[in-house]
Structure 1
Amino acid sequence: ATMKLKVSHRGKHHEISFEENSSPILSDLQREIEKATSIPPHLQKLLPSKVAGSPSQPKLNGQRPEATLEELGIRDGMRIMLLGVTGDELKSVTRQELAAATRQSPRKLHESLLRGARPRNTTMAAISPFGNIYAHPNFPAYTPEANERAASYLRRLANDQGVLHVMALHSYHVGVLTELLPHEHPNLLGLNENMGQRISLRIRTDRYDGFRDYATSRRVLMHELAHIEVHDHPPEFKELNSLLNAQLAAFERAQRDGSHLLSVDEVYEPESGGRSSGRQVGMFGQTREEEEREERRLRILRATEERLSQMEHDIELGCGSTRKGGQQRD
């Protein structure tokens, strides 16, 4: 029978068909996807839906191009979410980054032109993927100063280099970034309307006496950015949301290269004080100290994973698309 696959990308759905007994291979699928979306194979990230009754989800990324779709677990009627940018979009992002770097680099002038000159700021801001950014104008105990603090908090999120990096990778754009008021939306943490036309975040505390933790607000923002591509919370959404957070974490690790910062999943262990004898060796050639250190590291890692899993669960419950009657991402 003819194999038909449904490929979704940025809210659009494409049907890919292969003739009966054609035994399509991965490169055939990538070629058909390129025809439909203009995204070349090397920029495609494919996330197939999980097959009912199967213990694992089929994986297409990193597989041999000549592997048949049947070998890779792809079956007729399956849905595949596509992540990626077109070659033109990638070139556009690269041009914007180069232009911004050029604008922000100091001009080289002959020293005769610099005599008596006063330094001035000639840099220009790079094009932001966010449009309008503003605080809610009608919150309790409104003052211009409090409103500016809220707007500054939102601008910090919009100018976060990790957030901008992830948005550039996926060509995301947000029309409006604003806030949700706790008393108006007591059960919501974030809301994405019309696939990024407006994203609203609950940034204030319930008593309006401060702001929520920045790291939590940023994670809610990443969750809402994932809704630019995927409605609701199917398995494909969880895959994408995990990918965005992993890309953000990888960017920040790269930024920290060359320095050692203690974080929640790192444990500092002092030197043994020069003692070199009397060390007990355990399994696999590890010393007792090394085994205890590894056990502590694994305990911290498990606790971190549980905390992040609970946080993501809370964010999902507080997301506008999970509630009946809420504004859906159409």
Structure 2
Amino acid sequence: MSNEINFKVGFKSNIIKFEQWNLNSTIEQVKDHLEKETGLPTDSQKLLWKGSILKDLQVQLKDLSLQDGSKMMLMGSLPVQIEKVHVFDKKIDQQRRLAPAIRLKKKQQQQKPNPNANYTFHKISVIEEFPFPEKAKSLLERLRDDRGVRAIMSDRKWSVGELIELTPFEASILGYNRNAGQLIALRLRTDDLSGFRHYDSVRKVLLHELTHNVWGDHDDNFHALNRQLNKDVVNLDWTAHGAKTLGQGQFYTPEEEDEMENDVSYESGTYRLGAGKKSTVNLDTPELRRQRIAQAAQSRLTKKEEQEMDEGCGSH
């Protein structure tokens, strides 16, 4: 039986080939070779095999059940890329100080304008340098177009200049609201950058930051309004923007269609990329399903959630 193996590692759009490597080689040796090939320091490397990050540097290749032609994935940002992101953030800050609080650039349409069109997020921005920027943009667009969020902003006549992706290197911050609605930034990605945070978790942070449109400090007034918004995001969704009727009391929502078409799956508060499409949706008893969805989303924020969002809030 051969004690050598051929495998490869994907990094961005490149493939690094490992030919005739001894199965006794360790992950540390693999990472050293990857640093030579890519310039990515070993302490910045996230080497993935079968969806898990290989953290133990002394694990040998023979312990991973590799086969000839197996492919690992390498994630990480080069030092120069990290520096570019910091420079990019500084430029954004400078531009926001000079720019008007809200920029309305939509052209006049022939049809009668929507009186609630101004109560939205007028611009969306993501960090193009990070993996899967289209997924990040899709997540922000889903938040912007969420029926409950739209209803809240329309009901309270809130207008936010820009909704952006928060730099993931700000590991201690979940989001912030600048100047009571000039700009809201949200943390979208998981800590290991291999996926995105669960939609419901991100939406709760968004509601937290929207509360800063009214209250600056995390006091009783702030928490009372934030809890009310978490109720309203469901109540206003179903009453002001009710589900479409299928017949005989059955209901469906666009979110259900999104879940069927989306190529991600949710796992323990996060969702991972490339999980494959769902083929069926069980509506069981439609009215009860509707009530369960409403009750689940309406369930009050826990003290722990409130504390985590207070501590992870960088609003100023």
TM-score with structure 1 length normalisation? 0.44
* The structure with more strand, counted as a fraction of residues: 2
Larger radius of gyration: 1
